[in-house]
Structure 1
């Protein structure tokens, strides 16, 4: 007997939309940007708690929130604590129950697997190797998770820097998904 397919989480589409919006927002500022972190809140709940928020949202956002109870609003977090790396920053974050999810945008340099095999073990030499390698690729990752389940990732390369060239899917960056999910525990 086969199991019926499980239906997607009702917030999956809203999360995908929110991560795309975060990625486009960050992309508008250009490359070589710092890590940016966003709280994701259900727009209807935020409006019920803070009615003045309606004055700050575009009419199309308000209309979408009216028809979709899972519509999400991203709230960029200012004044993040200083941290030596992304892992340390995320390990120090926690969110109140009113936050339904979290998203992060970060830039990385990646190499093809064959080139990674030749990377030096010394951290300084590895960094030089990475930055000078002819096959390196600069990418921007935008990853979001909801407190109760789904994740969504968007990946843009500097070489193909166009809105219609952004790769997307629920688990493209599993390590970052796991790290973000831990901030919601």
Structure 2
């Protein structure tokens, strides 16, 4: 797990752990997959209020959550609406109050700045996809309703090297955080 600096709050640590756990889960999946969306719920609250959830939760998670009010459990959202793009997906998501946060997993292609300029000057619509310096990046972005954020990045060709930080993908982080804004 990529760890946040030592001066972080228990809530920030809980988010970093949850996002890293999601990254570990999706790292076992093949690349070029779909977007994954997760609700993040406070484990202790869910155990106390939902008997079925408590019964299905592995004992190891119950032990981790015991005495840790900030511990988070991720719940993958299986039936996402069919939309044209990620921005449209996030624009139609709203969470109930019981959801403490959310995480999203998506992949992007990145190029170094000099290659970006080269591709921008090209007339070939496939230039971005076929450029020899392209790198596929899987991003796991998590936000809490209370404002904390954490992101984990993993490169396809350096999949053992994982980078984590608070706001590594600001646009996606802001779009995910907006799913918690009140729409009145």
Fold-level match, TM-score > 0.5? Answer: yes
> Counterpart in 2 of 1:4?
none
> Counterpart in 1 of 2:169?
173
State the shift of 1:55 in Å: 2.4
> Counterpart in 1 of 2:44?
44
In 1: Cα distance, 2:91 partner to 2:118 partner: 30
Moved segments of 4+, more than 6 Å = none
State the shift of 1:119 in Å: 2.6
* Cα contact 1:42–1:71 (8 A) shared by 2: yes
| 5+ residue gaps, structure 2 | 1-6
Q: Deviations over 1:30-74 (max 9, x none)?
A: 211100000000001111221222222222210111121000010
> Counterpart in 1 of 2:3?
none
1:108 is paired with a residue of what secondary structure?
strand
In 2: Cα distance, 1:99 partner to 1:142 partner: 18
In 2: Cα distance, 1:68 partner to 1:113 partner: 43
For normalisation by structure 2, the TM-score amounts to 0.90
Q: Does residue 93 of structure 2 align to residue 93 of structure 1?
A: yes
Q: Deviations over 1:60-98 (max 9, x none)?
A: 210111121000010000110011111111111110111
State the shift of 1:118 in Å: 2.7
Residues 146 and 15 of structure 1: CA distance in aligned 2, closer, same or farther (over 3 Å): same
In 2: Cα distance, 1:125 partner to 1:24 partner: 36
* Cα contact 2:19–2:151 (8 A) shared by 1: yes
1:149 is paired with a residue of what secondary structure?
coil
Q: Deviations over 1:88-125 (max 9, x none)?
A: 11111110111000000001110001111233489x94
> Counterpart in 1 of 2:154?
156
For normalisation by structure 1, the TM-score amounts to 0.89
- Let me know the Cα RMSD of the aligned residues: 1.6
In 1: Cα distance, 2:167 partner to 2:96 partner: 25
1:11 is paired with a residue of what secondary structure?
helix
In 2: Cα distance, 1:121 partner to 1:134 partner: 16
